[in-house]
Amino acid sequence: MGDSTMIATEQESISRSEFSNISILVVDDDDSMRDILTYILQSSYNLSAVSCGTDALKALKEKHVDIVLLDLCLPDMSGLDVLREIKSNRPDIVVIMITVVKEIKSAVTAIQLGAFDYINKEFDYDELRALIGRAVEQLKSHREISYLREEVEQRVPQEFVIGKTEEMQKTCELMRKAAAVPSTVLITGESGTGKEMVARQIHKWSDRASAPFVAINLASIPSELIESILFGHEKGSFTGAHCQRSGKFELASSGSLFLDEISELRVDLQAKLLRAIQEGEVERVGAAHPVPIDVRLIAATNIDLQAAVRNGGFREDLFYRINVLPIHLPPLRERRSDVPELIDLFLNRYSKRFHRNIRGMTDEARDILCAYNWPGNIRELENLLERMVALADGDMLTIYDVPVEYRVFPFPFAKGTYKMTDALKMAVEAFERAFILQALKEENWHQSRTAERLGVHRKTLEYKIKRFKIQKDPSSSEE
């Protein structure tokens, strides 16, 4: 099996910092086999060992385990039965079977039951380390996919508002048709119109819904890193490439890859992207052979890609390849009738998130938001509602919870619903309310001192507090 000095030297060359968080459980009734495996692996991994299936299942309940080296022949139960139990309760654990030559048929059965691989008891040290290395890479890939899923869940709303406008109804119909086929989708629209939300909904409606949805904003990544992030890289392919890394295409295997701001992709990488789409394979940076992929691509942009093609900033062949199923999202100002539904959606979301009992919004406040032009589209509306819920004094959002700039500036866009004199009056009232509220807070809500500081009679202050619906802090002192 090799010289022990050489083994020790090779073991020291393995970076413990890279693998020390990986826990391996050895399950074998042969004392010498457990000792050998412990000797080889303990310097690089968190290692524990047991001699029977019962102890193995007990250990899995009591501690975190990433990889199990499992003997097929155990004294109390079959290794296959242990494998079935592991895959039933902990399918994320990587299981490697330990066999002898005469058990090869059972080892094949183990693979069919979900084992990662098997190794003969007369193994070579290098062979074992290589196998463990592949198992670790699989674990890393699965963890990265889980992380991406969690990240997307946090960033992308689960609720999807179709809206009442005819254009959005047609858009929804297009989305359902796109979900039913594997063709590439190009979503266009201004920033903040919900392109990623639409991409995710298409994925959820498709037959790939159980596979990963991986999103990447190309505008947010340094140009020199995009190739590695998209396509992956091999160990040593460039400075800092200390290990092999899968790209976003591989992480989205069997699922959907969403490329936002695709116009930001460098022209030289556009050719590589085109090949990935057409050939169904990607080449990691520094790789000698391509990796096959099965990914549904959804792209998005907020610019006119056809104009970019004419100007030489975007490849014409790539444009036609991604523009198979075009979906355009209208700006929020063109679908104002959808604003009330979106308001209710965001009110409910942030009331739950901030543990606030917000009952709703007054008609006056709602009218202001419906009249606003929303240059930032749905993203701006959501950010505003988050802010209003977070800062609200009461359980009902009123006109005074709407920031001043939204109370003044929406009216020129309201097609005569409001007069500019009304806007001026509201702006003055908003300033007065904010001024009084600040004075009350500085005087710890003591009305007599606040009235004296403002130079008004206390009765006047009480009237203003009632008129502007300024709520007294429950923790403030009583007079």
330-342 pLDDT per residue, tens: 999 999 889 999 9
pTM: 0.59
- How much is the average pLDDT of 120-125? 83
For residue 343, pLDDT over 90 is answered with yes
In three-state secondary structure terms, 188 is strand
Give me the residue spans of the domains in the chain: 4-146, 156-330, 334-467
Q: What is the pLDDT of residue 149?
A: 57
* One-letter identity of residue 143: R
* Residue 52 CB partners (closer than 8 Å, separation 6+): 27, 29, 74, 75, 76, 77
Q: What is the pLDDT of residue 423?
A: 60
Q: Does domain 4-146 have CATH number 3.40.50.2300?
A: yes
Residue 135's H or E segment, with its range, is: helix 125-155
Of residues 468 and 130, more confidence is placed in 130
Of residues 64 and 401, more confidence is placed in 401
Cα–Cα distances (Å) from 310 to 207, 218, 255, 269, 315, in that order, read 36, 21, 32, 18, 9
Mean pLDDT of the chain: 83
Q: Which of 46-55, 364-373, 402-411 has the highest mean pLDDT?
A: 46-55
For residue 415, pLDDT over 50 is answered with no
Q: SS3 breakdown of the chain: % helix, strand, coil, rounded to 5? A: 55, 15, 35
Q: Which residues pair with 67 in a beta bridge?
A: 24, 94
Asked if residue 173 lies in contact with residue 312, where contact means CB atoms within 8 angstroms, the answer is no
DSSP state for residue 8 in the 8-state scheme: H
- Four-way CATH pick for 334-467: 3.40.309.10, 1.10.8.60, 2.60.40.10, 3.40.50.620: 1.10.8.60
Residue 16's H or E segment, with its range, is: helix 16-19
- Let me know if the fold of 4-146 is the same as that of 156-330: yes
Segment among 80-94, 217-231, 316-330, 422-436 with least mean pLDDT:
422-436
Percent of the chain whose predicted confidence (pLDDT) is above 70: 85
pLDDT band for 216, please (50, 70, 90 cuts).
very high
- How much is the average pLDDT of 407-422? 52
CA distance linking residue 211 with residue 148, whole number of Å = 12
- How much is the average pLDDT of 302-321? 94
Q: Sign of the CA dihedral 40, 46, 47, 53?
A: negative
For residue 15, pLDDT over 50 is answered with no
Residue 308: how many CB atoms within 10 A of its CB? 17
Q: Cβ-count burial of 200 within 10 angstroms (0-12 exposed, 13-18 middle, 19+ buried)? A: buried
For residue 213, pLDDT over 70 is answered with yes
In terms of Cα–Cα distance, which of 397, 367, 402 is closest to 384?
402
- How much is the average pLDDT of 385-403? 88
CA distance linking residue 315 with residue 306, whole number of Å = 10
Q: Domain 156-330: which topology?
A: Rossmann fold (3.40.50)
